[in-house]
Structure 1
Amino acid sequence: MNYIIRILFSIVTVFILAGCMQQHTDRSMKEHAGKEVSAAAKEQITTQSKEEWMKIDAIKQPSASAITYELSKSNESFTAPFPRKYQDINGILTFRAGPFRNNAYTGSTIIKEESLMNNWAFQTSSSPKWGGGGGWVGQPSVIAWKAKEKEIMNLYPEYKSKKNFREVVFASLDGRVYFLDLETGKATRKPIHIKNPIKGSVALDPRGYPLLYVGQGVPHTGEIGYRIYSLIDGSLLSFIPGEDPYAYRKWGAFDGSPLIHKEEDAMIIAGENGIVYSIKLNTEYIPSEGKISINPAISKYRYKQEGNDYQGVENSIAVYKNLAYFADNGGGIQAIDLIKNEPVWANAPYDDTDATLVVSNEENTPFLYTGSQIDKQGAAGYARIQKINGLNGKIEWEKKLPGFSLLGERPVNGGVLGTPVVGEGALEGQVIYNISRYKSFNGGLLISFDTKTGEEKWRWEMDDYSWSSTVAVYTENDKAYLVQGDSAGNLYLLNHNGNIADKINLGTNIEASPIVIDQSIVIATRGGQLFSIRMK
């Protein structure tokens, strides 16, 4: 009798444990994307739930000796890798949504008619030299605030109680940061005016704290640098001057978008002055009193590389665990161990690389996808596309595609300026690049490569080039689409083979990068407008 009871007890225990494990996996899936996640993402979360997300004890490569580097006296290093789950709140909070910088899509999408239609348009003001709307990279953010933050922030009253409210946050060339209702495009609070054109992308805090991070692209008036604001009352909490005596380069712009380490209350960003900043924020947030403050402690990493006189960083740093990756205006590519505060490897410069590197976790090894501009090469040259092992800098495969660039006092470059996207689902095994000024001065190319071999899978030769990053959209019936803007103002919806499903013209150059939330594409143009386009 005791033997039978023990067997029954064992069976019940197994079922209870199995149920707990399933609940944990389901909860992880919901936390990952808020609404729906693709089959590939579900598989990734389930797999990662079974492994420890530990720091990488990276082996310093001989190539790192080509870099001479120094750290500022204030040495605030990270003590742990970036967490596997970047954010605690739903939304797209930084350029390309997180540390891997791979896409700008969230929610769930149903596409039946494969068509695009205007939903709303918002008109910005204009700065004297740069106009309004969005420039490169100009990606908006979107966030679903929690109730306590809505209550204490300076939102207009109707949005404090609005159900399913999501706020679009967008930085414009007119020097203002705008706040809009995703559903209607109407202003949700007063804009923040930094009085200097903003070319980059804003960031919001992954903890859901009411903090805004925004860089400056042009020194129109006042100081040039990076700013952190309170979104409780719109006040400036901190300013990081870009014109830093510690920098080797004196250009002080920030086009990159930071990453916030939520567990360490810290951020990382690189500037066009060639400094990588590791910043302990020392945040004090008291929601019950409607107060937030920061007291940044800043560590600076500066470097020199043989054959590279252009240390400025315009892309957004990508991170895998404790390894940070970036490229610079000279075309050098680096990996830094954020815990050891030292370079792991550095690849030799080729040509200006402004597009953000994308990280792909392939069998627990980080691989990088990157592409260069045609700039230092002159009026004609080759955009170099590479897949790189993120642990040691080894080139897995490389391709070169011809193109053109405009020289002179106001150069306009060709090559890779949009950030590539590594596919999943119906796009599994593909990495898709956007090449500007391909074949002809105004032409472009959207091209897909096999991630393992580098062999071409398909191409779409564009009549008009593009600097805007490609976004992949995954539908509830496991289909995949691509969203792509171009310099003639066309916004395209393409299927997974690169064939045009539909297009809509927004009037002027789409230089900025879009985000996609459920059925909506939010995208800015150089014509001074921010649009919401609905996919049907």
Structure 2
Amino acid sequence: MSYRADILGPMSRSGTFRLLLAGALVLVVGGVATTAYALRRSRSDSSSTANPEVGTTAAASPSPSKPAFVGWSDPELVGKPWGTKVNGLLTFRGNPTRTYYGQGPVPKTMPVHKWQYPKTGGMCAMSEDKGKTTQWCGNGWTGQPAVFERDGRTWVVFGAYDRNIHFLDAATGEQIMPDFKTGDIIKGTVTVDPDGFPLLYSGSRDNYYRVIALDRGVPTELWKLSANAVKPTMWNDDWDGSGLIIDDYLFEGGENSQFHIVKLNRGYDANGKVTVNPKLVFNTPGWDEQLLKDFGDTNVSIENSVAIYKNTVYFANSGGLVQGWDISGLKEGKTPTRTFRFWTGDDTDASIVIDEAGFLYVGSEYEKGNARSKQVGQMMKLDPSKPDNPVVWSVKDQGTRPAGIWGTPALYKDIAIFDTTGGDVMGLDRQTGAVRWKFHVPGNETWQSPVVVDDTLFIGDCSGVMHAYDVGDTNAQPKLLWELKIGGCIESTPAVWKGAMYFGTRAGAVHSLSVS
């Protein structure tokens, strides 16, 4: 049985400004579900580990234990929480491979609307973008709240378009700490230190990416990196990406079109207060001359959140360039080197997702409509071990422009789930790219990233409705469990944690839904 309720009524979207994308999109699939690229299965696909065969017989003797992983991001932790020292969703999509979506239980029947923040009004501010000043409200399409446990309570922390980082009690929506104010809007998901240091990492459109201490009563800036600290730069000084912190290094891309690595040198002073002494140890342009020539545009900013698998860091940019950089020798002072380059042809702002076997799942927009984006498609699986011909499969979404993918895909069992800006949600076979199922949500401009926890898919739409679907059987059409009218385009990706979920809307508020 499905449920629907309109408990809050529509909220005003006046004052919220991002251009709404008009027109229904038509899903175009080369062949039935793939382009003319040959499907290659030259090495074992990760879906085999996600869906082991039923009825296999245990070995007569125990298999030898695996050696401890040596490197930056352990493949065994794909789909799992980020470390063991802090419980929660600590960065956009939860971990270094962007594959952890939260912890249940989840609302399987109509949830309770627990709170909204702020209780009245909206988180809004005026901000300039591309020479035009408009009002922005909410916490953005990349603004998934961070949810984590600290000092015996659960925190919900997020940056917003009112130029503040907010620190809330997950149970009540009340403030835990005063807001941290920046000089412009905040678009990206904050990152919580995964190693237990009381530190928060966040960018802002005011030009800076910051390290903020949480152990001083009020959130306190310890250090900031200017978008103009490196050269050359292109595009602007915003920071959309959610940084990764591994082994005392920060990895972050910026809309200055550069990728940065910072040695944090975290510690504590004589009074027990957390300290940092950061040093920028590496940066590189997110573009190359070939991209500028092929793309014909200088909008090559890095708006997605970098992902790390084993010893390679991956990111893409608004020019469609997907790159992988070897960081295996970073701790020994060796300069990272580029080992993977692929061009999608168009703006690629969705974060790259990496499965257990190291395959990349990439979503790209369809704005330019150039020959390359028509050929490559907008949903793709890439094999970085074959840099000369990495496309395993590709699916197209080339209806009325702009089309394609803004939200970051989700991996679930043997499927990859993509949502298009036109409102189509699809489950694709991870091995072949075939469309297993598809449904449509209203409102167009579906930019948030799909979330799956406890066999339940959560997806919001731009008509202001949050939907929940049963996707336990990946071969069956998802079954609608409930849908709830919140009001305001639901833009940010939901954070699901222990019976509750948290997300923002363009009406300017963050909402909490709960099982009770």
Report the AA paired with residue 446 of structure 1.
V
Task: Kindly report which structure 2 residues correspond to 1:204-219, keeping only aligned pairs within 5 A, or say none.
Answer: 204-216=192-204, 218-219=205-206
Q: How does 1:229-240 map to 2 (within 5 A)?
A: 229-233=212-216, 234-240=219-225
Match of residue 417, structure 2, among 432, 435, 455: 432
Determine the C-alpha separation between the residues in 1 that align with 2:465 and 2:338. 41
Structure 2 equivalent of residue 304 of structure 1:
288
> In the TM superposition, what are the counterparts of 1:226-305 in structure 2 within 5 Å?
226-233=209-216, 234-261=219-246, 264-286=247-269, 289-298=271-280, 299-302=282-285, 303-305=287-289
Assess if the C-alpha contact under 8 Å between 2:442 and 2:462 holds in 1: no
Partner of 2:459 in structure 1? 484
Residue by residue over 1:331-369, the C-alpha shift from the partner in whole angstroms, topping out at 9 and shown as x without a partner, is 1111111125011110124100000011111xxx20111
Distance 2:431 2:66 in 1: 24
**Structure 1 pair 245/318, CA: closer, same or farther in 2 (3 Å)?**
closer
**Deviations 1:369-397, CA, capped at 9 Å, x for gaps:** 1111122228xx86511111133341111
Q: Does 1:458 align with 2:437?
A: yes
Q: Which runs of 5+ in 1 are unaligned?
A: 1-38, 56-79, 151-162, 406-412, 438-443, 475-479
Structure 1 residue 285, shift from structure 2 partner = 2.1
Q: Measure, in 2, the Cα distance between the counterparts of 1:212 and 1:202.
A: 7
Instruction: Report the Cα distance in structure 2 between the residues aligned to 1:48 and 1:174, rounded to whole angstroms.
Output: 55
Match of 1:141 among 132, 141, 146: 146
Q: Is the 8 A contact 1:244 1:250 kept in 2?
A: no
Q: Aligned match of 2:67 in 28, 48, 52?
A: 52
* Counterpart in the other structure of 1:527: 507
> How many Å apart are 1:99 and its aligned residue?
0.8
Aligned residue in 2 for 1:127: 125
Q: CA deviation at 1:250?
A: 4.6
Higher relative contact order (CA 8 A, sep 6+): 2
Sequence identity of aligned pairs in percent? 28
**Could you give the per-residue CA deviations for residues 7-62 of structure 1, whole angstroms, max 9, x where no partner exists?**
xxxxxxxxxxxxxxxxxxxxxxxxxxxxxxxx96999xxx999423545xxxxxxx
Letter in structure 2 aligned against 1:390? P
Q: Write the deviation string for residues 479-505 of structure 1: whole angstroms up to 9, x where unpaired.
A: x11000111111101111323221111
Q: CA deviation at 1:451?
A: 0.4
Q: 2:94 maps to which residue?
A: 97
Which amino acid in structure 1 is aligned with residue 124 of structure 2?
S
Structure 2 residue 372 is the aligned partner of structure 1 residue 376: no
Q: Once superposed, what is the RMSD of the aligned Cα atoms?
A: 2.5
Specify the code of the residue in structure 1 equivalent to 2:66.
Answer: E
Cα-to-partner distance string for 1:116-154 (whole Å, 9 max, x where unaligned) = 331111115431343432112111101111xxxx4xxxx
Q: What amino acid maps onto 1:414 in structure 2?
A: A
Q: Determine helix, strand or coil for the equivalent of 1:174.
A: coil
Query: How far, CA to CA, are the matches of 2:434 and 2:510 in structure 1?
Result: 37
Alignment check: 8 A CA contact 1:404 1:415 kept: no
Per the normalisation by structure 1, the TM-score is 0.73
How has the CA–CA distance of structure 1 residues 457 and 183 changed in structure 2, closer, same or farther, with 3 Å as cutoff?
A: same
Distance, in Å, in 2 between the alignment partners of 1:429 and 1:401 is 21
Aligned partner of residue 124 in structure 2, secondary structure: coil
CA–CA distance in structure 2, aligned partners of residues 119 and 138 of structure 1:
20
> Which amino acid in the other structure matches residue 276 of structure 2?
I
Which residue number in structure 2 is paired with residue 324 of structure 1? 313
Query: Aligned partners of 2:403, 2:276: CA distance in 1, in Å?
Result: 40
Alignment CA distance shift 1:95-1:192 (3 Å): same
Question: What SS is found at the alignment partner of 1:397?
Answer: strand
User: In the alignment, what sits opposite 1:201?
Assistant: 189
1:396-436 CA-partner distances (Å, limit 9, x unpaired):
1111122334xxxxxxx53211111110xxxx211110011
Give the distance between the partners of 1:248 and 1:283, measured in 2 at CA.
28
- Are the counterparts in 2 of residues 251 and 273 from structure 1 also a CA contact under 8 Å? yes
Tell me, in whole angstroms, the C-alpha distance in 1 between the residues paired with 2:386 and 2:257: 22
The question of 1:82 aligning with 2:73 is answered yes
**Contact kept in structure 2, 1:116 and 1:493, CA below 8 Å:** no
State the distance in 2 between where 1:140 and 1:48 align. Answer: 41
Task: Name the amino acid aligned to 1:120.
Answer: W
**Alpha-carbon distance between aligned partners in 2 of 1:110 and 1:277, rounded to the nearest angstrom:** 36
Mapping for residues 467-478 of structure 1, pairs under 5 Å? 467-474=447-454
Contact 1:89–1:206 under 8 Å retained in 2: yes
Specify the alignment match of 2:169 in structure 1.
181
Deviation at 1:253, TM superposition (A): 1.1
User: Which of 375, 385, 398 is 1:391 aligned to?
Assistant: 385
Superposed, which structure 2 residues align to 1:486-525 within 5 Å?
Answer: 486-496=461-471, 497-525=477-505
Query: After superposition, where does 1:61-80 map in structure 2 within 5 Å?
Result: 80=71
Contact persistence 1:311–1:328 (CA under 8 A):
yes
Tell me the secondary structure at the aligned position of residue 114 of structure 2.
strand
Relative to structure 1, the CA distance from residue 211 to residue 91 in structure 2 (aligned partners, 3 Å threshold; closer, same or farther) is same
User: Cα offset for 1:252?
Assistant: 1.3
Residue type at the aligned position of 1:322: N
Distance 1:211 1:510 in 2: 28
User: SS where residue 416 of structure 2 aligns?
Assistant: strand
| Partner secondary structure for residue 402 of structure 1 | coil
Aligned residue type for 1:127: A
In the alignment, does 2:358 pair up with 1:366? Answer: yes
Q: Name the CA distance, whole Å, in 2 between partners of 1:350 and 1:125.
A: 35
The structure with the greater share of residues assigned to helix is 1
Q: TM-score with structure 2 length normalisation?
A: 0.76
Q: 2:113 aligns with which of 102, 115, 118?
A: 118
Aligned twin of 1:348: 343
Letter in 1 for 2:227: G
**Contact 1:460–1:499 at 8 Å: present in 2 too?**
no
State how far apart, in whole Å, the 2-side matches of 1:460 and 1:194 are: 40
Taking a change above 3 Å as real, the CA distance of residues 54 and 235 of structure 1, as seen in their structure-2 partners, is same
